[in-house]
């Protein structure tokens, strides 16, 4: 897609309409152009939407496109995240293709979003932009958003990682052993393995800094999550007791960026086992496994307030990229 002179785009000829399944490939291409560090395929977009639609909390989802001469030039999504659900809390994602910025498409889509949210009586809305996107930051601030939190993408170059230097830290405390989720599932069966995983996941996740209070992801939700194409059960490492109780975990997920890259999902430890090096030992197992698969980059995201995990990642050699700034307008806690 290449840009046209400004006078070639007649605003009256731009159609704003709701997204259909036939648009998924074009929308995925748009989202990748807007944020190339986090590419997404049509298949991944479809699976994300499927997971949201099937969530136990039945979240609201609404997607509109700005289309001109058959090209998707911009898109906006209003949705409710199951993991921090409140009936009056929404999240906004709005993007315009880099070749078509400055044509008023963002303003047009924002007006559609405002009308939709007003009709729903929304009380809280979050959105975000990288600190290196000043136009996007000003766009949000002009519409009443204020900065709420910041998150880093942290990236580890596995090609320069010295695994041998971490040999002592790979050992778990006495009474624990490391297994992959795939191995635990083979031993216990899928249902029991998921139940053990869910118990540890829920406790560890409850203490992760986030933009809104965590709401429960049920066993059924996690089972569906584990069935997504990007899930990698061989790359999910668990610390388990002799009774197969999961006390800590770290997840690796496949990335749409390609086989050279994996993404870390949740890394966490149940409260009774914290500050004993368990999370570090599991991360090292995951890094070793990833290198064996030919992976050269590991990406993870951390809130800038999550000092323990940021410190751990910094020790391992992860390096932060520009911060993602989370903005908020309104609050469900306000009267």
d(CA 305, CA 288): 28
Q: In whole angstroms, what is the distance from residue 130 CA to residue 321 CA?
A: 10
Q: Looking at the structure, do residues 114 and 176 belong to the same domain, yes or no?
A: no
Token readout for 264 is: 């870390």
pLDDT of res. 7: 52
The verdict on 177 and 318 lying in the same domain is yes
Confirm whether 131 is domain-assigned. no
**Whole-angstrom distance, CA of residue 285 vs CA of residue 239:** 11
Per-residue model confidence (pLDDT) at position 5: 46
| Region 20-25 average pLDDT | 98
Of all residues in the chain, what percent carry a pLDDT higher than 70? Answer: 97
Task: State the sign of the Cα–Cα–Cα–Cα dihedral 107, 109, 110, 115.
Answer: positive
Q: Which two tokens stand for residue 316?
A: 């391992």
Q: What is the mean pLDDT of residues 41-68?
A: 96
Percent of the chain with pLDDT over 90: 92
**Would you say 96 and 66 are in contact if contact means Cβ atoms under 8 Å apart?**
yes
What is the distance, to the nearest Å, from the Cα of residue 180 to the centroid of all Cα atoms in its chain? 22
Residue 135 placed within a domain: no
Say if residue 87 is in the same domain as residue 220: no
Query: pLDDT (tens digit, 9 = 90+) per residue, 244-300?
Result: 999 999 999 999 999 999 999 999 999 999 999 999 999 999 999 999 999 999 999
Does the residue 329 lie in any domain? no
Is pLDDT above 90 for 335?
Answer: no
The DSSP secondary structure of 203-249, one letter per residue, reads: HHHTTS--SS------HHHHHHHHTSTT--GGG-EEEE-TT--EEEE
The boundaries of the domain holding residue 247 are: 154-323
Residue 8 has pLDDT above 90, yes or no: no
244 and 307 share one domain:
yes
- Same domain? For 172 and 247 the reply is yes
One domain, residues 294 and 235: yes
Does 285 share its domain with 182?
Answer: yes
What is the C-alpha separation between 101 and 74, in angstroms, rounded? 9
**Where residue 282 sits, what CATH number does that domain have?**
3.40.630.30
Residue 127, domain member (yes or no): no
Please tell me the pTM assigned to this model. 0.92
Quick one: 305 and 168 in the same domain?
yes
Number of folded domains in the chain? 2
Look at residue 149 and tell me if it is in a domain: no
Residue 6's pLDDT band (cuts 50, 70, 90) = very low
What gap in Å lies between CA 302 and CA 318, rounded to an integer?
11
Q: Which of 82, 106, 122 is the last residue of a domain?
A: 122
pLDDT tens digits along 90-110: 999 999 999 999 999 999 999
One domain for residues 57 and 203: no
C-alpha to C-alpha distances, 251 to 15, 215, 226, 230, 263, nearest whole angstrom? 41, 20, 11, 11, 8
pLDDT bucket at 138, cuts 50 / 70 / 90: very high
Pairing of strands 71-79, 237-240: unpaired
- The string of pLDDT tens digits covering residues 313-323 is 999 999 999 99
pLDDT in tens, 298-311: 999 999 999 888 99
């Amino acid at each position: 897609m290449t840009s046209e002179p400004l006078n070639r785009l007649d605003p009256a000829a731009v159609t704003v309409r709701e997204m259909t399944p036939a648009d998924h490939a074009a929308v995925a291409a748009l989202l990748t152009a807007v944020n190339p560090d986090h590419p997404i395929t049509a298949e991944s977009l479809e699976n994300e939407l499927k997971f949201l639609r099937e969530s136990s909390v039945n979240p609201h989802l609404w997607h509109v496109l700005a289309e001109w001469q058959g090209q998707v030039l911009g898109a906006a999504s209003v949705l409710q995240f199951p993991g921090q659900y409140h009936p009056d809390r929404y999240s906004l994602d709005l993007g315009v293709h880099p070749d078509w910025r400055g044509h008023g498409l963002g303003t047009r889509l924002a007006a559609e979003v405002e009308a939709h949210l007003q009709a729903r009586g929304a009380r809280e809305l979050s959105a975000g932009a990288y600190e290196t996107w000043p136009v996007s930051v000003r766009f949000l601030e002009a519409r009443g958003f204020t900065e709420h939190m910041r998150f880093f993408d942290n990236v580890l170059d596995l090609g320069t990682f010295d695994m041998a230097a971490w040999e002592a830290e790979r050992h778990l405390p006495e009474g624990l052993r490391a297994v992959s989720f795939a191995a635990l599932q083979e031993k216990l069966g899928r249902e029991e393995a998921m139940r053990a995983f869910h118990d540890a996941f829920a406790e560890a996740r409850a203490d992760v800094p986030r933009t809104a209070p965590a709401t429960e992801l049920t066993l059924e939700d996690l089972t569906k999550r584990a069935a997504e194409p990007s899930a990698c059960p061989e790359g999910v490492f668990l610390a388990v007791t002799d009774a197969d109780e999961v006390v800590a975990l770290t997840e690796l997920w496949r990335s749409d960026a390609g086989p050279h890259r994996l993404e870390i999902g949740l890394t966490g430890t149940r409260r009774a086992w914290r500050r004993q090096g368990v999370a570090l030992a599991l991360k090292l197992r995951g890094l070793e496994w990833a290198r064996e698969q030919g992976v050269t980059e590991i990406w993870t995201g951390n809130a800038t307030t999550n000092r323990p995990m940021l410190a751990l990642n910094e020790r391992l050699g992860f390096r932060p990229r520009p911060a993602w700034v989370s903005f908020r307008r309104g609050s469900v806690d306000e009267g």
